[in-house]
Amino acid sequence: ERPDPLVLLDAEVTVPLVTGDTVGYANFDYAASAPCATAAADAINDLLPRYASVHRGAGLPSQLCTRRYEEARGSVARFLGCRPDDTVLFTRNTTDATNLLAHVLPADATVVVFDSEHHATLLPWRRAVRLPVPDSPGAAVRAVDAALRELHRDGPAGPVLVAVTGASNVTGELWPVGNIVTVAHRYGARVFVDAAQLAPHRPVDVAALDVDYVALSGHKLYAPFGAGVLAGRPDWLAAAGPYLAGGGATALVGDATNDVRWSAGAARHEAGSPNVLGAVALGAVCDALLAADRAALADRERRLTDRLRAGLAAIDGVVELSLFAPDSPRVGIAAFAVRGLDSDVLAAALSAEYGIGVRDGLFCAHPLTRRLLHDAGTDAPATAVRASIGLGTTEEQVDRLVAAVAELAANGPRWTYERPEGRPVP
Ligand code: PMP
């Protein structure tokens, strides 16, 4: 049903259980890091025997790698629907991308950001206006409008950037990015969209949405760790000093201290030898997703997500964490807690007794997850479990997860799980 390049490499992984049995691993942690797609592995294997320096070498492998690296940039630009003059930068991941964007913001810029953001989008800014977690997409748009009006009350504010997620990494819910862009542009503000969770599940069209900047992580998009993207308007990127000082970012270095002319374009912020294998793998997955029937993939995911959420909702003691209305559109993510059962114990038991991998904790979105757990009721545990769906998820796996949570909610775990003392909650 899936095109070959999007078949995932973990399809046949088996894991031992504490009972002594072995089962097929059921991965419900795509939102943290997804398994690699065949397209990514093929692109890497093709280049591995011939990889060489990018933008630096005269030899044939260097020429090949430089071409592949720049072609990957083109694939990412097409995948994201970038405008012709957008700059597409390879970064390490989304966190690196938001920190790069923070680095190039004009010195007097203000960033408007909701408390509900992932820490990567919540924290990097020098000056931020924090907005409380909204309870509907409409309230989010109105809150941005009010914040921008307030910033402009005493005449034009300096540059303003609204930073918002495309899809929540905790609840999976889609944010009203198009409406936020419309409001922001009315005030001359720009919009950055954190597409780390959106891009693996839904098409992102930067030009159509008129979004100014976008970021994603390759390791959530079926490519390996270590390559991500920041793409968007070229002017702030061109005006700022380089994100990293060093080779590649320089057009000319004189003999005197600080006599440096920095490169223009993407090179300015890509100093040092780049992650060519990571970028090429990411580009290959972008091509494969562009060629696939993404509407059909999204439909399939919607059915699996509905099945999972309905199954969980029917279990006594399970509380799903949601920001907006229960039927608000979302990607394949469901966060939940089981009353009376610690989430780290639940997650450990799902792995050890059922061969199911989930994420537990506060999901690098502490203010949001704490607030959702609080709203869910006082007997809910202090952290939550997140089950996330991806291209390899099957109905059988969803049913196995629901049955396992039902058993654990009713009877508790069969084993005792040691809780690591003093472990910071991720
Ligand atoms: N934003 C969102 C919405 C995310 O889900 C994540 C990853 N959990 C990040 C940013 C950060 O991504 P990375 O760890 O790849 O930098």
Mean pLDDT for 382-406 is: 97
CA distance 290 to 80: 10
111 forms bridges with which residues in the sheet? 128, 161
pLDDT at 324 over 90: yes
| pLDDT (tens digit per residue) in 224-272 | 999 999 999 999 999 999 999 999 999 999 999 889 999 999 999 999 9
Mean pLDDT for 21-33 is: 97
Concerning whether 364 is annotated as a catalytic residue, the answer is: yes
Cβ atoms of residues 425 and 358 within 8 Å: no
Question: Which residue, 246, 306, 304, is CA-closest to 270?
Answer: 246
Mean pLDDT for 124-135 is: 97
Q: Which residue has the higher pLDDT, 56 or 221?
A: 221
For a ligand 1 pocket test, name from 113, 122, 219, 220 the mutation site with the most ligand atoms within 8 angstroms of its C-beta: 220
Atom of ligand 1 nearest to the CA of 169: 5
Assigned token pair, 249: 């970012």
Report the pLDDT value the prediction gives residue 193, as an integer from 0 to 100.
99
Q: Is the CB of 353 under 6 A from ligand 1?
A: no
Atom of ligand 1 nearest to the CA of 96: 16
pLDDT at 417 over 90: no
Atom of ligand 1 nearest to the CA of 219: 15
Mean pLDDT, the chain, rounded, equals 95
Tell me if the domain spanning 40-291 has CATH number 3.40.50.360: no
| pLDDT (tens digit per residue) in 286-321 | 999 999 999 999 999 999 999 999 999 999 999 999
Question: Rounded to whole angstroms, what are the CA distances from 390 to 11, 192, 356?
Answer: 12, 25, 14
Report the pLDDT value the prediction gives residue 2, as an integer from 0 to 100.
64
Q: Is the CB of 27 under 6 A from ligand 1?
A: no
Cα 85 vs. chain centroid, distance in angstroms?
A: 24
Dihedral over Cα of 77, 82, 84, 85: its sign: negative
Report the pLDDT value the prediction gives residue 364, as an integer from 0 to 100.
96
Question: Rounded to whole angstroms, what are the CA distances from 65 to 17, 76, 77, 221, 281?
Answer: 44, 16, 18, 22, 12
What whole-number percentage of the chain has pLDDT above 90?
A: 92
**What's phi and psi for 163, nearest 5 deg?**
-110, 120
pLDDT at 378 over 70: no
Mean pLDDT for 365-377 is: 93
Mind giving me the DSSP string for 316-384?
TTEEEE-SS-TTS-B-SEEEEEETTB-HHHHHHHHHHHH-EE-EEE-TT-HHHHHHHHHHH-TTS-SSE
40 Cα: distance to centroid of ligand 1 (angstroms) = 20
Tell me if the domain spanning 4-30+293-411 has CATH number 3.90.1150.10: yes
User: Where exactly does CATH 3.40.640.10 map onto the chain?
Assistant: 40-291
User: Where exactly does CATH 3.90.1150.10 map onto the chain?
Assistant: 4-30+293-411
Q: Is the CB of 118 under 6 A from ligand 1?
A: yes
Identify the H or E element spanning 307.
helix 294-313
